[in-house]
Structure formats: structure tokens, C-alpha cells
Structure 1
Amino acid sequence: MTAFAAACGVHLDPWQSYVIDALFAVDAAGQWAATEFGLLVSRQNGKGEILVAYDLAHLFLFPRPDNRPKMILHTAHEMKTAINGFQRLKGVVESQPQLMRRVHQVYTANGQEGIILRPRKGQTLPDQIRFVARSKNSGRGFSGDVLVQDEAQEESQAAHNALTYTQSAVPNRQELFMGTVPEEGVNDSEVFEGVRDRGRAPKPSRTGWMEWTPHGSEDPEIAETIDRADPHVWAAANPAAPHRIHWDTIRDQYERDTTPGKEAFGRERLSIWPNRPEGADDSNSDVDMAAWNAHEVDAWLTRRVALAVVIGRGGGYSSICGAQRLDGGEILVQHLATNAGTLWIPEELKTLRRKLASRLIVLDEKNAATITSDLSRAGLRYMAMHMSEVAAAFDMTVEYINGGVIVHPPQPELTDALEAAVPRVMNKGQALKTWDQGDPLVPSSAVQGMSLAVWGLKKSESQPTSSAAPAPQVLTAETGPANDGMDVLTMRF
């Protein structure tokens, strides 16, 4: 691969050649040894050359043996990054007459960037590469043999689902994830973290993983003790220094970092990304399960309910929960539904809204981003909660459970979910937390839904209503009257 890249004018450093050789390793059956491959290395070290060499080899050297058209999807979090990758590949291809002889067309129109080859003998449709920005709809309509995912630290589960399922019927598929260390609570990094964990795991798998990081940086305890001022540490994390990135540049970045413990320098320049500590999730954030169990009541939601919808990991299932203020001042919470997928949510919310005279629907704007357009089309108005509000809901729920404010009907599934749920830090600097799944067999979406519903109830109670009008105030940027003449307070910020 390195010789082919050099013949095309792409000259790789030794570390880059090492990565390319691993990417194109095959097993005894001649299939790619790694069906998914992750690369973690800090910025400015030369990931771009690896991507160009990878795209070139897949496009020109490795056709499908069944002669069917091969599709390479090169994606990035932002379109400008995808276009940059396209322009680099385009420049190499157009500079090599032997490559251009195989090209049918180069698409440069905005949103359609790509290179189409001439059909090989016996082909009806040709091989091609397309460059797209990731979204929940990107890749649909294509069947991708190879998926390149640049800026992998910024890849939501919904965007990944839209891409990876294009490979469902593809033999000998491969996915490449290339990125830097995500910032906790800022980057949507669940997909990249999963690749990292599978790649670092000791058991054999079809996941390849390479990282250039200081010794011990995967260990949560050792990572905290790494000397960020040590030039040997800098060298371990920057394989292209000093000829691509100079030591003086790294020194300046270290000295100018004002974050506590040089945390930003450790993340951005040294790629320090420790595994989640073992046992860190053994406690579900000080929830007193005895208090929870002691406040089981024979009551169910009836009226003026705040509803919350939460999507589980990977979008494979979703939950709806509700909260209602009782006459005695307690807050009654209830798990209302959990089902596979998300298509069922709008109709179920309509039914529950009518049945329970719902005053508000809330959701986490990041968690439920894939269904907001479906809710809008169904005429359902909702309040989208920001990260700080989701964290406030978490803290409030723990306090209210322990203080006996929250009561609940006998629902074993909700109790089991609460017992298994663990805290997850969304923003390290601000110590913002939310619920996460501690047991892989016990979904946490019902607990998160309960928490958001409690917050939504409190939010709706804090809104003033006019004594001159029977209906509550509607704070919304969306148009349309409150549906069904119900007592509904909808807020959309």
C-alpha cells in the first residue's frame, strides 16, 4: 500500500505506513482482518495522508470480487472537513494520468462531491467514492462497502446507525474511525468510545485499534499522574514530531493551557483518554433504595401529568414516563411504556396526552434529536431540555427520592431500572451528571424518563397562569393551538 501511495505522490511517514499496513491486513479467508478499525492520534500529526492513501487503495486497488459496484462513503462531522478530504483526494487523482484514465467523472457540486470510475469489464454500475457530512439520514440509499468516519469523536449514535446499516448486505465490509480524544459533555462520543473499548479489550475480535498515547494513559489512576511537561511524553503522543509539528509549538501549547491540571493539553495534544474506572458505577449516586421502596403507593397517574420521552442506547428502544402532583404535595411518578425503536412514540404520546390531560411533554434535546421532527409532524409540541437542565433533573430526582417527595405505584420494572442505573458525567468541569445503564440487561431509559418528567412537572408549576383565562399560558415558538382543548402548557426554548 505504501508503494502504491508513493507512486501516486502520497509519501507516508513510517508510522502512517504502519497504520495502512494494519488496515489492509487480511485473514486466512482473504477477508479484512478488521471489520472496524479505530485510530486515535492528536491533531496535526498527519491523519489526512492516511485517509488519502486509504481512499486511493480502496477505490483503485480492491474491487469487489463479485464485480458488483463498490461504494466508499467518506464522512465527517462537518461538511467542510468532508470537502477537505475530497479536495485532497481529487488533487492526487487529477495529478496522476494513470488514475485519471480510470475516472469517468469527478463531481464537485455542493453536497454531491465524489469520484466515479469507469465501469470495469462486466459492470453495469461503476465503483465510486462519495463525501458526506454525517446526520441521521446520511448514507441512506447507498450500500457502503467501506465507511470512513473522520472526526469520529463527534459521531452520534443516530448518525452512525444511518451509516452502518448501509453495510447490512455487504460482504467483506470495513469501517474506519479516525479521531481525537472527545471532551466529556461536549462531544457525542459514545460510538468512538465503544470502538476504543472493543479495540483495547484483551479478547480477540474483528476490531483493530491503534493509538499514540503516553504509557499508562488508558489506566484511570496512572493517567492522572502523567507528567504533561515531560518531552518524552510529548514524543509518545506525537509520532510526527518534530518534522510535522515542532517541539516549540508543543511547548507553547503546554505553557498557554490554563485548564486545571493542564487537562486540555492532555486531551488535545497528548491524547490521554483513560478507560472508565472499574467499580466507578457501582453506586447509583446516593439513591436511598430503602426510601424508594418505602414510598410505594396504590395510586396511578390520572390528570395534569408531565410526560417525558427518552431514547435508549442506540435507538433500539424508547420509554415514556410521567409525573403528577398529588393533593398531599407528593410527586407521583410512573413508567408508562417501553417499546422497541421510536416509530411508536408519536401516537403513544397522543394517546397519553388525551388520557392523562398532559400539561407538558419534555425531552433531552440531544438524546431525542432523532424524533423531534416526527413529533412536530404529529402536532405534538414539546420542551427540549438543555444539558444543565438534564443534570438538574438528575440531582432533583435523587434528592426527592431520598426525601420521600417522590412516590410510585408498584412497578417492579421501574424499581429494577433505578437499582441498576448509574451516574454518567456529562460535563466534567461543571460536574453535570445524568443517568446511564449500569447493567447491560436492564435499560435505564425509564429512570431517565422519570427524572425528566419530575423536572417537567416542576417547570410547568413554576409558570404563571392568567386568572382571566382558563387556559394556561403557552410559551412556544411553534404555531398552532393547544390540541384537543386540553389543559396543556407547552414550552419550546
Structure 2
Amino acid sequence: MTGPEYAGTFGPEVADLCEAVGFAPDPEQRLGLDMMFGFDRRGKSTSFEFACICSRQNMKTGLFKQAALGWLYITDQNLIVWSAHEFATAMEAYRDMANLIEGSRFLSKKVKRISGSHGDETIELKTGQRLKFKARTKSGGRGLTGDKVVLDEAFALQPDHMGALLPTLSVRPDPQVIYGSSAGLAHSDVLRGVRDRGRAGSSARLGYCEWCAPRQACADEKCDHEPGKWVGCQLDKVENWQHGNPLLGRVRANGTGLTVEYVKAERDALPPMEFARERMGWWDDPSTSDIFGPGKWENGEREERPADLQLTGLAVAVAMDLKSSAVVAAGANDEGVWLRVLQHGPGINWTVDRLKALSAAYQVPVVIDGKGPGSVLIPSLEKENVLLHVATTQDVLDAFANLRTKVTAGEVLYTPSKELDEAVAGAALRPVGDRFAIGRKASTNDVSPLEAGSLAAWQATIGPAQGKSAYESDDYDDPDIMYV
């Protein structure tokens, strides 16, 4: 835990209030309350930001409910806004708070109204304090402003949320922003920035607490963390579970708790990296392993390929700066989807003639992202009567979801390819609504081979087998092809 020094704190008073109404804080929650409610000699909050990163069902939501009671009943904040990424999560918090307040005679007698109308879930006291619950929308942080703002499910925060929210707090007399989340995902850039500042203790007004296991190597360097398969896997160590779950082995007065037996069952049921993130606090980093899982992409490399594999997928993609292009073929058999980079070279001018020849030879449409950089090729390809499938945004999202699913399942295979490996190594995720695409701006390498491979694999797996053998045709022996 890191954070600013404070002259005093209302934390103990808030904890006493919560205990009096049957919602006693755990020791870790008391520490969080002390920091959140710490104030300086002027009576202002010392923590403008406060973040709690911890595994699910341990302390975060309970801590924020306790803080909300403190803001309503102890420090008399005018407006508290509780937001979550998912509407259902915000509504669950609203129902819990409403039940908690209605179940206490002391708390409920001060309530003016509890409104549960869709989109306007509010708890209002007779003295005017309000607690509102909202889901964050694509429009960003507009409508989230308040004296105290809780950003639950902070792993999903985007820069536009913060850009819309933070300036609105400047006119509030004593604003605070509260972040709550389990360990971040690959695209959790906002939360990762908070984490880095919190771990370093480099922000003068950020209070930060995090529970996570140390990220250490397993006993066997080949370990892929599959349950029951390896001796000495870090994901099997109970002491690591304890680091990420302060509630583990503890039973509260109300009977709730987290047992080792349950976590063992969860270990068997969850995919390894989901368990590592959600139970051990291991963050996903923006790298290949975040997109496909450790070693999953590399496991698909094959020195030899089937001689009778047919080309049923053909796609082109262009780098964002238009400085390079990639043409990738795909074929499918019982083993999975096979990818091969046919050509990856500078510029875009060479692609039209190449695609015209390939499409004519194999009688398959060329898939191209209709809203990506490669869309500049569409008029020229149409002029040459090249058979095209112009992919919609939905197609692109479906294609990438298909690729991720198949790579994770070990069903994407490819001949050794420097271009593909480099594209995968530098690729970053880009959230599109509740789904993901390949993020060109955030990626550190040219990802056009991976984009084309994603579209080609999608075409090969949703359509009937067509064309001639993709890997024994003379076309694949063209000396102009840049082999990998």
C-alpha cells in the first residue's frame, strides 16, 4: 500500500458505523477506509485518487459500499456517483446498497427516497445527499461527475472516460476518484497507468493498495500452467493464492468467506491465465501472450505442411502508413487452419497484379477490410475485375475472434514465418464495443500479415473448400514471392 500522509482520518468513524449496521470491515478494508477518508490540516482529502486492485469477491465492492455509507452519513457529500463497465454490475451494487440501508433502522430513517427506475437508480437522504448508480457508456465519462466518483470494473476504463470526467471535478470542493478492479487486461491502459504510479508511490495524491502473488518462474521452464500436468507450477501454490486473496481461509461473522477447497476447484475449472489474473493478481501485459496465451501462437509452427491442402482463404492487408502490404493464404483440414504468407513487401502497388493472378488461379474471393488502410486498393481491384469480399467491421471482429479461439485451441498452424511472428509479437488489442480487433496504432510492429491471416483463416473456415492445392501449385513457386 502506498499513499499520502494525512493529518487525520474519518476512517475509524466510518468503520464503526458499518460495524453498527452489521457490515463490519475486514482489517484490509479498514486500512483502505483510513486512506480514503484521510484529510490534511485544511480538512481536505489527501487522496484525490484511490485505487484498490484485488481478486474478485475479496474486498473491493464491500470497501466501496462502506465508503459510500461514510460519504452519505459521516462526511455529508452532496453527490456520489458509482459507475461500472456493465449495467448489471452497477445495478447489483445499487440493490446491495438499497438492501443494506433498508435493513437498518438507523440508516433507513434518514432516507427520503430510493428510486429504482431504469437508468436513474438513486438513493437520496432527507438532508439532500445522493448516491447514483450508472453504467459507463461509449460517450465516455459524461454524466459521471460528482463529489465522489467510484469507477468500478476499472480494467475497462478508456482514455475518453477520464478525459470527459476529470475536468468536470475541478469545480468540486473536495473531489475524489476511486478505482476498483481485479488485475488488468492487455488493453487496460488507464488502469495500468494508475498501477504503475501506485506501485512506485510517485503520485503525491494517489492512495493505492493491491493484492497479488509475485510473478515467478515455474519449476519446469516448459510449464504451460495446465492444472494437474506439472510439478512446481506457480498457479498451484496455496501461498500464491493467499497473496492475491486476503479473504482466503477467513470466515466473516455473516458466514461469508473464501476456502482453499473452492479455489482448488476454480483452478481446475478456469483456463490457466484466467485463473492467474483473477485469483493470483497476475496482470496481462500488452504482448503476444495477452492476445493468444503464453506459447499458444508458437505451438502452431510446423516445418512441414500437407501436400494436398487446398487454398480456401485469401486476404490482403496494408500497414497503417501504407508503407507495406501482406497477402496471406489459408487452408483448412482436420488438424486446423493452415496459414502461409505468400508475399509481404514494401508499398501497395504490387498487390493488385498479385491478387488478380491468385484470385483467378484459385477462384476464391480476396478478403479485404473495407474500413482499413487496405481499402485504398478496392477501386483498383474492382477495375481489374478481381473477385472481392469487402469485410465489414462485424466481419473483421468475427475473424479476429475466430483466430483467437483457434490459436488458443491449438488449431492454427503455419510454416515458419518471420513476418507473422513479428506481427504477432508486436500486436496489441483494440476494444471495439465489447469485442476486440487488432490495434494498429498501439501495435509496435507492422501487423498487416496478422490482419491478412485473420481474414484468410476466417474465410477458410466459414466457406466450402474451393480451388486447387494451395501448397503444390506452381503459383507458390513464383520467384517473386517473398518466402519466409
The two structures have a TM-score, normalised by structure 2, of 0.56
Q: Distance in 1 between matches of 2:372 and 2:272?
A: 48
1:385 aligns with 2:366: no
CA offsets, 1:246-276, max 9 Å, x none?
Answer: 899313532673379976655444x242685
1:239 aligns with 2:246: yes
Residue range with higher mean Cα deviation, 35-44 or 257-266 = 257-266
Q: Distance in 1 between matches of 2:60 and 2:112?
A: 28
Residue correspondence of structure 1 range 61-460 to structure 2 within 5 A: 61-62=74-75, 70-96=78-104, 99-100=107-108, 103-118=111-126, 127-137=129-139, 139-153=141-155, 155=156, 157=158, 161-162=160-161, 165-171=164-170, 172-181=174-183, 189-214=188-213, 217-218=214-215, 233-240=240-247, 241-244=249-252, 249-254=259-264, 257-258=267-268, 266-269=276-279, 271-273=280-282, 306=316, 323=325, 330-332=343-345, 334=347, 352=376, 356=380, 359=388, 384-389=398-403, 399=417, 401=419, 422-423=425-426, 444=443, 447-448=446-447, 451-453=450-452, 456=455
AA at the equivalent of 2:122 = G
Q: Structure 1 residues 156 and 190 mapped into 2: Cα distance closer, same or farther (>3 Å)?
A: same
Any conservation in 1 of the 2:399–2:457 contact (CA below 8 Å)? no
Where 1:239 maps in the other structure, the secondary structure is: coil
Question: Aligned residues: percent identity?
Answer: 21
What's the CA shift for 1:97? 5.6
Where 1:175 maps in the other structure, the secondary structure is: strand
What's the CA shift for 1:86? 0.7
Q: Distance in 1 between matches of 2:117 and 2:44?
A: 35
Any conservation in 2 of the 1:104–1:116 contact (CA below 8 Å)? yes
Q: Distance in 1 between matches of 2:319 and 2:109?
A: 54
CA offsets, 1:317-343, max 9 Å, x none?
Answer: xx78884769xx74556599xxxxxxx
Q: Which of 18, 34, 39 is the matching residue for 2:31?
A: 18
Any conservation in 1 of the 2:316–2:374 contact (CA below 8 Å)? no
Q: Distance in 2 between matches of 1:360 and 1:321?
A: 23
Any conservation in 1 of the 2:114–2:123 contact (CA below 8 Å)? yes
CA offsets, 1:368-410, max 9 Å, x none?
Answer: xxxx7xxxxxxxx86653245379999989926489xxxxxxx
Any conservation in 1 of the 2:427–2:444 contact (CA below 8 Å)? no
Q: Distance in 1 between matches of 2:21 and 2:60?
A: 17
Any conservation in 1 of the 2:428–2:439 contact (CA below 8 Å)? no
AA at the equivalent of 1:129 = L
CA offsets, 1:429-453, max 9 Å, x none?
Answer: xxxx99889xxxx953783356425
Q: Distance in 2 between matches of 1:235 and 1:305?
A: 48
Q: Distance in 1 between matches of 2:285 and 2:191?
A: 14
What's the CA shift for 1:170? 0.9
AA at the equivalent of 2:49 = E
CA offsets, 1:182-231, max 9 Å, x none?
Answer: 5x67xx544433332322125344333212344xx156689997866665
How many residues are matched?
Answer: 367
Q: RMSD in angstroms over aligned alpha carbons?
A: 5.4
| Unmatched segments (≥5 aa) in structure 1 | 65-69, 121-125, 286-303, 311-318, 337-344, 366-371, 373-380, 404-417, 427-432, 467-493
AA at the equivalent of 1:48 = T
Q: Which of 54, 70, 78 is the matching residue for 1:41?
A: 54
Any conservation in 2 of the 1:422–1:435 contact (CA below 8 Å)? no
CA offsets, 1:8-35, max 9 Å, x none?
Answer: 5432122211111112223566543333
Q: Structure 1 residues 251 and 330 mapped into 2: Cα distance closer, same or farther (>3 Å)?
A: closer
Any conservation in 2 of the 1:82–1:132 contact (CA below 8 Å)? yes
CA offsets, 1:345-377, max 9 Å, x none?
Answer: 9999899477555755558x7xxxxxx7xxxxx
